[in-house]
Amino acid sequence: MESILEKYDAVALEDVTIWFKAAAKSDFPSDGGACVKYKDKQIAVFNFTRLNKWYACQNVCPHKLEMVLSRGMIGDEKGTPKVACPMHKKTFSLESGENLNGDLDAIATYPVKIEDDFVFIGFSD
C-alpha cells in the first residue's frame, strides 16, 4: 500500500528537469480535471478556468488510496485553490498539497506550464 504513495514526490518549479507534454488544453474541462499518465504515475491535472490557472497533483488520494482526485471538485478555501476528493471529501491545497480538513499526508503537486495550447507538467525524474 505504501509503495503507491512513494511514487509521488512533489516537484518545485526550480527542480523541473523534464517538461512532459500531457495533452492539448482543449482536452481538459473548464473548472475541472482529467487524469494523465506519466511513466508509472497517474497525475490529476486541473484547468482552474475561474482563476485562469492550471494545477497538477497525484491522482491517488492518500485517504483510501483511490485513484480519484482528478474527478474531485475544485474550489478555494480562504484564497487557497483546493480539490475535494469525490469519495469522502477530504480537501487538499493545489499549491502546497496540504490536507486542509484533516491530518492526512500532503499530496504531491507538480508545476504546469502552457505552451502553444498544450499542457506540460514538470517532473524531475
**What residues make contact with ligand FES under the rule CB under 6 A?**
61, 63-64, 66, 85, 87-88, 90
Nearest distance, CB of residue 104 and ligand FES, angstroms: 8
| One-letter amino acid of 38 | Y
For residues 70 and 68, give the distance between their C-alpha atoms in angstroms, rounded to a whole number: 6
Nearest distance, CB of residue 100 and ligand FES, angstroms: 12
For residues 6 and 114, give the distance between their C-alpha atoms in angstroms, rounded to a whole number: 27
Nearest distance, CB of residue 99 and ligand FES, angstroms: 9
Among all chains, which residue has been given the C-alpha cell 498539497? 97
- Pick the closer one to ligand FES by CB: 94 or 119: 94
- Pick the closer one to ligand FES by CB: 21 or 88: 88
Q: What is the DSSP letter of 96?
A: T
- Pick the closer one to ligand FES by CB: 31 or 66: 66
Taking residue 115's Cβ as centre, other Cβ atoms within 10 Å add up to 10
